[in-house]
């Protein structure tokens, strides 16, 4: 009976009938301890049926037992944590993996990138939870030598609040922010968007990632990276339809990079190719190096590296 349950569970999983598969594995595990290979399929079936918490607990047990499939289980565990938005736990796990001798240096480099990306998602989550906009920004803070002393989060909040108040008297300061090459790229993009919202038509010189152009804030180049986010995300969904946590991470990366690139673009690449490039990049963070090392891949790495360098400064 137990063998039949496991056999049926595997067959249902193969047919993508995850509800039936989990029912079979649920019943089988009442009578016998499933081997690690079967458990890994069970975990995937649990994830597909939105039973992430149970999948997480199973992974934790396997990691404590030092399963022979430790590396695969760790990858699943990180995926689950990201899906549950438990970014603090992701950070703790990655800290342990970074000193684990079983992983080579190139894999640990991927862990570092994953750690940075998880940290960004955590900050975005905190930003969404922070609904206190009662304080009014001080115009003095827009002066360059004071603005650059603020944290990136403070700079972003200051500019975000500018959409909802009269800042016409500090337009020259906002222009300076948009043009300053030493300021975080996405902050410069936000400053340009503020100028556009104010109706400023005087051209602003924007130089970043090897591109340089005089831009009319009210009428920026089109299409640009921000314009393409929705279409690219649709293609990412097609690639990662069965992997919701990696999907969320990938679209988060596209969103972040699009605003860093604005008003420029992933020139010369279709939405589908850009989407595949980001999927390959995220997969590489989990150890899959099958993606191509082309100019798009190098641009994605440059975008990601630039955000990390600025944040560390």
37 has pLDDT over 60: yes
For the chain, the average pLDDT equals 86
Output the pLDDT for position 76: 86
313 has pLDDT over 50: no
**What does the DSSP assignment read for 221-233?**
-SS-TTTTHHHHH
For 230-269, the pLDDT digits (tens) are 999 999 999 998 888 888 889 989 999 999 999 999 988 9
Backbone phi, psi, residue 167, to 5° = -120, 25
- How far, in Å, CA of 17 to CA of 21, rounded? 6
Output the pLDDT for position 1: 83
For 176-223, the pLDDT digits (tens) are 999 999 999 999 999 999 999 888 999 999 999 989 999 999 999 988
Query: Minimal CA–CA distance to 194: which of 156, 230, 232?
Result: 156
For 159-177, the pLDDT digits (tens) are 988 887 888 899 999 999 9
Of the candidate ranges 128-142, 144-158, 262-276, 287-301, the one whose mean pLDDT is the lowest: 128-142
């Amino acid at each position: 009976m137990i063998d039949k349950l496991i056999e049926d569970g595997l067959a249902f999983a193969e047919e993508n009938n995850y509800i039936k598969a989990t029912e079979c594995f649920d019943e089988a595990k009442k009578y016998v301890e499933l081997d690690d290979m079967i458990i890994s399929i069970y975990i995937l079936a649990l994830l597909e049926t939105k039973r992430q918490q149970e999948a997480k607990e199973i992974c934790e047990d396997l990691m404590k037992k030092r399963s022979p499939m430790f590396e695969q289980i760790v990858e699943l565990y990180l995926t689950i944590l990201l899906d549950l938005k438990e970014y603090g736990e992701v950070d703790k796990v990655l800290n342990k993996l970074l000193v684990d001798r079983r992983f080579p240096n190139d894999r640990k480099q991927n862990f570092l990138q994953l750690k940075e990306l998880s940290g960004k998602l955590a900050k975005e989550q905190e930003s969404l939870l922070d609904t206190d906009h009662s304080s009014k920004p001080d115009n003095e803070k827009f002066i360059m030598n004071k603005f650059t002393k603020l944290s990136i989060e403070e700079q972003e909040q200051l500019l975000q609040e500018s959409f909802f108040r009269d800042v016409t008297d500090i337009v020259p300061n906002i222009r300076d922010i948009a043009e300053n090459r030493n300021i975080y790229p996405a902050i410069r993009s936000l400053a340009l968007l503020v100028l556009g919202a104010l109706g400023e038509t005087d051209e602003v010189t924007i130089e970043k990632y090897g591109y340089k152009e005089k831009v009319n804030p009210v009428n920026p180049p089109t299409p640009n990276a921000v314009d393409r986010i929705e279409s690219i995300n649709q293609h990412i969904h097609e690639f990662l339809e069965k992997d919701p946590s990696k999907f969320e991470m990938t679209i988060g990366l596209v969103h972040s990079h699009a605003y860093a690139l604005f008003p420029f673009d992933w020139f010369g690449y279709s939405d589908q190719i850009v989407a595949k490039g980001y999927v390959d990049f995220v997969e590489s963070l989990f150890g899959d190096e099958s993606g191509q090392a082309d100019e798009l891949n190098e641009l994605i790495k440059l975008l990601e590296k630039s955000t990390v360098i600025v944040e560390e400064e």
